[in-house]
Chains A and B, each alone.
Chain A
Amino acid sequence: MPQAIVDFFASYGWLLLTVGKALFVVMFAMNVAVILTWVDRRQGAMIQDRVGPDRAVIWLPRWFARGAVTLPAFGVAALVVGLALLDKAERGDDAISFGHAIVVSQLALFMLWLTGAALVASAKKRASASAVDGFLASLGEPRAIVVLGLSAQIVLFLAMVLAGEHGIGGVLRDGAYGGGVLLLTAAILAGALYTAAAMRDERVGLRLIGLLHPAADGLKTAFKEDIVPPGVDKLMHGLAPLISFFPALVVLAVVPFADTLCFGGSQAGAHLDITGGLLSTVPAGAACERGGFSLQVADFDVGILYFFAVAGTGIVGAALAGWASDNKYSLLGGLRAASQMVSYEVTLGLTLIGGMMIYGTLQVDEMVRWQADNTWGVFVQPLAFVLFFAAAVAESKRIPFDIPEGESELVAGYFTEYAGMKFAMFFFAEYIAVVSASAVMAAIFFGGWDLPFVQRDGIRVAFGDTVLFTQQLSHGIVVLLGFLGFVLKVLVLCWLQLTIRWTLPRFRYDQLMRLGWRMLLPLSLANVLLTGALILVVQAGGPGLESALSVASDLSKAAIAALGVVAWVVFLLFVLKPAEHRRLLTSTSARFAASLGGTPTFKMSS
């Protein structure tokens, strides 16, 4: 690389990274919010036994669709082979790494049964048009293939772990690695080629499980007329959606997305030098020696207070919209929004006081670190989590707390007089508020980027001083795992909020106020009191209690990990359970359908 480029990155690389992470956070929030708008509708449909929006389609020419399926598959296959060759070149005549062999063989078996089951299911559905289809359909039930594949995965894993790295275990390891690379490549290529060959029509519809709907809706609102009714305060009417939209987005600045990245470069000037690349490993429990790059947009000292300050600003947008619209329904909605959000803001702040007392900090990054060292916040502050969740749903003005909108009472509440993109901004702000509330909840109550037993230098399963299992991982992989864990937590919390929206009816106005002031507020005060008492007890408890708490925190992490395994098993059993439907032929139309082998389905080609 030319020296000029290296110098440029040494001086300004940190700036690029900083701008990049801010952009990433904004894009993450907006994209998740866009997807949520669709998930919300689709989930409502699933709950009400309807199909929901899944019809938006882009037609692709067949050659293009075939290329789009096969070329990436060839790329991935080449990557697998290339990585294997690179590994071979790096290792020379040394033995194959045991960890690599396990990962590669498990991945290969997984891809094999997944592709196999999908291909067989598709071949059965297509009523065997060709010899390949006939062969695939004769392989058996997709369900049996899944069970067989999973058992093979478990058996191979156990055999490899039990046989160890030497003697017969060494042969097993080499065979699993070589066979794994071959099978992985074969499974990827076979799946892609079959899919491409199965495209028989002139054009192929790209539906992305219906995800094109929010894109179409966004495009539509961008081109819609922006109606500004006569009599409105033009400036305020235009400003309100911005004030509503902006705070929901910038709240995410204080939430860390992953652990601090440690760069190994020399500290050239006042700023971080990224040219040295990431450190390969970072010892557990240690801070970065020189160049740490925090994956948090703004590392304020005030931390979580920034969240309250900015989230509170959102009220102004709703109230302003109601006032500026010159409409009695808007005004009522704006008033309701203001009173509701002010009420719940109090609970929102007070519930976190207990957490701040325990974590001993206001900085979200430090809070996550405390949870990584001890246990997740939801175990030490369960009541606070429930209260915070309720208050956060109320803050986002969504069902069951949607009285500011209240379409059965106030037309559309504070955004009655908005159309086009301005309406979309209000609508969108609601979903972004869901994402940011979920991110804050994940960071404060669910350990942020912390995953059970994942330390900064790898996986270490230990209870107290008893170490059960350790596996070294490189720094980049650990940070990536943490990031994926964080995203998963955020998505689950978002989904929970959407499910609540489809479950509960709207509160009446007085019920809402009573819940806020007479239930949640006293409970959050009691939580502060209780937390204080518990902290005093722990401080007075001495070393015995301390070691007991340490073991309890390890057990809580084990419980989370066990819950993850149980969830995975339950999910598999649920997916593998055959669907049971009762047939009832009472009408002539049902008999016609039965004689056709089911309700006829036509291909819509235009």
Chain B
Amino acid sequence: MANTTAPLGPKKVVGSVVPRPKRGVGVQTYVPEIVKGLGITMSHFFTNTKEMVLGQRNDPVLEAVSDGINTVSYPEQRRPYPARFRGVHRLTHRPNGEPQCVACLCCSTACPAQCIHIVPAEYPQGDPRRGHERFPREFVIDELRCVFCGFCVEACPVDAIRMDTGIHPAPYDSREQFIFKKDLLLGFKGRDGSQQSSNPRHEPGDPTHPGVTREHHH
């Protein structure tokens, strides 16, 4: 068996010596190089100025790979966020406009920033939902404290809270303005314009309801 260990000592250099690049008269006098450089800067200047003046500049998102000015002029121009962008929260609606939320407190429990505050309440006497589920009397999110991790959305069992508004939190003047209450959260729409939850509830009495009642258990 041939023992192929590398020999000791410095590695032998394989290859040929690369000669130093020759600096011709053009490079030495620096003048042709200056002219070349001026040509490049001028071509950028003229092309970009023309496109700015004639309103032909790149679309900063669609044509971001072409030469030219790709800057997004921020407050006027806004890059649409990716589909999975986690923006400001919204509360989804039931078909009758009530909040989908059942006040289970999963989201506020999962929240690592503890920015969700929910006051759950029972439905009034006689409502078939009383005893099954609750509703949020208060639902408050402190958007300044939120870290936009999306755990609340993951935790929600009924698709009641979402972060698909595509809105990023605006820079407000005071801390109070970052306290988003239930009505505001219910007012936001998803990017597709929808407000309803895509996870329909099956309430007692509905034909789709599986028929499980509190009486079955007790």
Q: Which residues of A contact B (CB under 8 A)?
A: 43, 46-51, 121, 125, 386, 499-500, 502-504, 574-575, 579-585, 587-590, 592-594, 596, 598-604
Q: How far is the CB of A121 from chain B (nearest CB, A)?
A: 7
Question: Is B41 a contact partner of A499 (Cβ separation < 8 A)?
Answer: yes
Q: How far is the CB of B32 from chain A (nearest CB, A)?
A: 13
Chain B minimum-CB-distance residue to A580: B66
Cα distance A604–B74 in the bound complex, in angstroms: 11
Query: Is B216 among interface residues, defined by CB-CB distance under 8 A?
Result: no
B side interface size, CB within 8 A: 45
Query: Is B126 among interface residues, defined by CB-CB distance under 8 A?
Result: no
Question: Is A504 a contact partner of B63 (Cβ separation < 8 A)?
Answer: no
Cα distance A121–B53 in the bound complex, in angstroms: 12
B81 surroundings in chain A (CB, below 8 A)? 589, 592
Name the one of B45, B54, B80 contacting A46, with C-beta atoms under 8 angstroms.
B45
Interface of B is mostly: loop
Interface of A is mostly: loop
Question: Is A602 a contact partner of B41 (Cβ separation < 8 A)?
Answer: no
B172 surroundings in chain A (CB, below 8 A)? none
A50 surroundings in chain B (CB, below 8 A)? 69, 71
Question: Is A46 a contact partner of B44 (Cβ separation < 8 A)?
Answer: yes
Question: Is A588 a contact partner of B83 (Cβ separation < 8 A)?
Answer: yes
Cα distance A173–B54 in the bound complex, in angstroms: 35
Name the one of B62, B69, B73, B85 contacting A583, with C-beta atoms under 8 angstroms.
B62
Cα distance A602–B62 in the bound complex, in angstroms: 17
Question: Is A51 a contact partner of B73 (Cβ separation < 8 A)?
Answer: yes
B61 surroundings in chain A (CB, below 8 A)? 589-590, 593, 599
Q: Which of B103-153 contact A (CB under 8 A)?
A: none
Name the one of A49, A386, A580 contacting B70, with C-beta atoms under 8 angstroms.
A49
Q: Which residues of B contact A (CB under 8 A)?
A: 31, 34, 37-38, 40-42, 44-46, 48-52, 54-56, 58-73, 75-85
A575 surroundings in chain B (CB, below 8 A)? 50, 54
Name the one of B34, B63, B78 contacting A584, with C-beta atoms under 8 angstroms.
B63
Q: How far is the CB of A144 from chain B (nearest CB, A)?
A: 15
Cα distance A590–B45 in the bound complex, in angstroms: 27
Q: How far is the CB of B165 from chain A (nearest CB, A)?
A: 14
Name the one of A43, A503, A579, A593 contacting B79, with C-beta atoms under 8 angstroms.
A593
Q: How far is the CB of A516 from chain B (nearest CB, A)?
A: 14
Question: Is A600 a contact partner of B44 (Cβ separation < 8 A)?
Answer: no
Question: Is A602 a contact partner of B76 (Cβ separation < 8 A)?
Answer: yes
Cα distance A588–B70 in the bound complex, in angstroms: 18
7 A/B residue pairs, CB under 8 Å, sorted by A: A50-B69, A499-B45, A503-B38, A579-B56, A584-B64, A587-B82, A599-B61
Identify the 4 closest CB pairs spanning chains A and B, nearest first: A592-B80, A579-B56, A588-B83, A581-B63
Question: Is A499 a contact partner of B68 (Cβ separation < 8 A)?
Answer: no
Q: How far is the CB of A369 from chain B (nearest CB, A)?
A: 32
Q: How far is the CB of A195 from chain B (nearest CB, A)?
A: 15
Chain A minimum-CB-distance residue to B51: A579
Other than A49-B67, A599-B80, give 5 A-B pairs with Cβ distance below 8 A: A500-B34, A574-B46, A579-B50, A581-B68, A589-B85
Question: Is B71 a contact partner of A51 (Cβ separation < 8 A)?
Answer: yes
Name the one of A49, A574, A589, A599 contacting B82, with C-beta atoms under 8 angstroms.
A589
Question: Is A502 a contact partner of B63 (Cβ separation < 8 A)?
Answer: no
Question: Is A582 a contact partner of B76 (Cβ separation < 8 A)?
Answer: no
